[in-house]
Amino acid sequence: MIEQQRDRQRDAEHFLELRAHVQRHQRIHAHLEEAEVAVQRRRAEAEHLGNRAIDAVRQQALSLAG
């Protein structure tokens, strides 16, 4: 009987450890996904600014040529 209680206690502790591990893993994945979204946003902003700069240079070249 006491041995069964120990086994149940050990199993419960193991379950809690596994649950904590899974939760840490989920938090890490969420953080990585947020970081990837931030990188993609910055990449899109940089591309947009680059396109605006190219358009400005083209416009200036056209006005100098015309």
d(CA 46, CA 7): 58
Q: Dump the DSSP string for 34-58.
A: HHHHHHHHHHHHHHHHHHHHHHHHH
CB-neighbour burial class of residue 2 (10 A; exposed 0-12, middle 13-18, buried 19+): exposed
What length is written for the chain? 66
pTM over 0.85: no
6-65 pLDDT, tens per residue?
999 999 999 999 999 999 999 999 999 999 999 999 999 999 999 999 999 999 999 998
Collapsed DSSP state (helix, strand, coil) of residue 66:
coil
